[in-house]
Amino acid sequence: MVVTGMGMVTPIGLTVKENWTNLVNGKSGIGPLTKVDLPDFPVKIAGEVRDFHPEQILSKKDLRKMDLFIQYSMIATAEAMQDANLVVDESNTERVGVIVGSGQGGITNIVENTIKASNGHVRQISPFFIPSAIINLASGQIAIKYGLRGPSYGVVSACSTGVHAIADGFHTIVRGETDGMIVGGTEATLVPVALAGFHNARALSTRNGNPQEASRPFDRERDGFVCSEGAGILVLEEYNSARARGAKIYGEILGVGMSTDAFHITAPDPQGRGPRICMQNALKYSGLNAADIDYINAHGTSTPLNDVTETKAVKEVFGDHAAKLAMSSSKSMTGHLLGAAGAIEAIYCLKAIEDQVLPPTINYNTPDPECDLDYIPNEARRARVDVCLSNSFGFGGTNTSMAVRRM
């Protein structure tokens, strides 16, 4: 199972190339929150996508039918399809599908139309409201645009969504249902109700005065994650099919491990049992030993509980090898893209393999005695990278871990 195309829209770039350049250079995409204009609002920072111009690819008519989360997925898909040089026509239309997920879907449209309805302005609600808001319409709109007649649906599993979508696409190809799948995650949740919900759950950083230093995974002074938006899309293909058409291959997806904490709706199991199980499953299903892993793209949210729990789980899974592993959190720069995080971080793993460069964890200034692994502090590192693991853990205790390898 190989990846032949990739596309991204995030706070640190509108393309894969721009993302990767900024990531390895340690550039933060966190800044003042401009999408919420409420003077007394407690959250004043976010990872916003800036200079986004979907009208360059999508018509005004189409844009009226799409919440922002769909628009992000469409732009990222356009880049991924071009990157893969994948042409869908009558010869393969039934053998290519799409699975793109989101944590909260069209919450922007939901909020706007709820206000209209509450004020009695029901006639102002667009007939496109429902199809612009429901999560499977990211996949649906992609399928319509590219004529994909294979499986098409959405995935929702909080911050594990992106990797679950990749896993589902992986398995449709393994089962022989398709030869190729467009997969990934997308999110656009920078609205007051969502941010207030996260803030009141004590999940968000309140380091409002220093936005670029707010996301600081594994650092002792971390105080919560920074909410962000964007999308990550990958083109998956069966190896022989990709080779036959001469596609560029970024790497092989070996397998995905999954688990559930069964502990709490938002807090991780302090023993790290769920993350431990899913990483062990990823190794098992991929046919790997612990010593085979060169790099882990950590879930690393910058919350006090998550970072300690993930560190503990990594040490349990990898034993003595944990001290030799390089591990970093790209969320230190991108913030947390929620349902899109797993997909964009899978792309970062594949770029690390391609360029033999490991991205840093920025803002790592004060070591935490409970977080004592090699987090690649503050500067990227050249290294031999053959096999990577990417972790994504979400509310509800849902966990995923995916292994990718150089071809």
Hey, which residues are catalytic here? 159, 299, 336
Burial class of 225 by CB neighbour count within 10 A (0 to 12, 13 to 18, 19+): buried
Q: Do 218 and 170 meet the contact criterion of CB atoms below 8 Å apart?
A: no
Nearest Cα to 347, choosing from 238, 231, 259?
Answer: 231
Q: Measure the CA–CA gap between 282 and 187, rounded to whole angstroms.
A: 25
What are the DSSP calls for 189-225, one per residue? --SHHHHHHHHHTT-B---TT-GGGT--TTBTT---B
- As beta bridge partners, residue 398 has 260, 394
Q: Measure the CA–CA gap between 127 and 328, rounded to whole angstroms.
A: 44
Burial class of 220 by CB neighbour count within 10 A (0 to 12, 13 to 18, 19+): middle
Q: Do 297 and 388 meet the contact criterion of CB atoms below 8 Å apart?
A: yes
User: Burial code of 286-317, b = ≥16 C-beta within 10 A, e = fewer?
Assistant: bebebebbbbbbbbbbbbeebbbbbbbbbbbb
Supply 279's token pair: 């990483």
Q: Do 369 and 311 meet the contact criterion of CB atoms below 8 Å apart?
A: no
Tell me phi and psi for residue 160, to 5 degrees: -95, 0
Q: Count of CB atoms within 10 A of residue 171's CB?
A: 15
3-state secondary structure of 391: strand
Q: Do 99 and 154 meet the contact criterion of CB atoms below 8 Å apart?
A: yes
Cα 205 → chain centroid:
19
Q: Do 353 and 404 meet the contact criterion of CB atoms below 8 Å apart?
A: yes
Supply 343's token pair: 């997909």
3-state helix vs strand vs coil in the chain, percent to 5: 40, 20, 40
3-state secondary structure of 300: coil
